[in-house]
Amino acid sequence: MQHAIARSIFAVIAALAAGAALAAPTVELKVTGVIKPPACLPTFSGGGVVDYGVIPAASLNAGQYKTLDKKQLSFQVSCDAPVKMGVTFNDNRATSRVGGIVSAVSANPNERFNFGLGTVAGKNVGGYALTLEPALTTGDGAPVDNIYTTDNGRTWSAAVGLDHINLFAFAAKGDNKPVAVKQLSVMINVQVVLNKPEELPLTQDVPLDGSATIEVKYL
């Protein structure tokens, strides 16, 4: 009996070994890759710095906001292929906004156009508004329109001012919907308004500290 069992076990082992010896070698084929939008690089003229230099405290009048001269900087986006794009402006000094301070220089008195200028010794320095030069906005060298949306792209309207809430984009003239471009150029006006002198700690230096992050979004 034991010899019969041993022979059976040996037969099973031999059969398995023979099957293993006959198994064909295998190799795996993989299909990989990634679909990516065109790469875009945003830049500002002057490194994105708008410098007002030294502002004498004596130039501020009691009870009044002080409007500084308008300055301009060019915003450009270069992509490696045409793409529909939009931009958003995030106010990094939102907690320092002075309500209503840019109403006289903004395209719209709405507070969404009011960007903060930072805080010194617990006092808010002022604000600034960003507006566009419509005639100087170009896509691939041709004039394009500035547009914005308040409903995630379902509808678009003409834009003159830039705010810290909505998405801004660029359309072929008269088309009113985003157009794909490879090279975008936008001229932005910066208008600063300083707080009333009695609201500022003028016994020390009061630096202007506006900061906004501009993000390019693919549409």
pLDDT tens digits for 174-209? 899 999 999 999 999 999 999 999 999 999 999 999
Q: What is the pLDDT of residues 47-75, one digit of tens each?
A: 999 999 999 999 999 999 999 999 999 99
pLDDT (average), residues 33-44: 86
Least confident of 9-13, 57-61, 143-147: 9-13
Apex 183 CA angle, 177 and 184, nearest 5: 55
Place of tokens 């006092």: 123
Domain ranges of the chain: 41-218
Q: Which fold has domain 41-218?
A: Immunoglobulin-like (2.60.40)
pLDDT at 1: 56
Residue carrying structure tokens 């006959």 = 22
CA 121, CA 143: separation in Å to the nearest integer?
45
pLDDT tens-place string over residues 26-37:
889 989 888 777
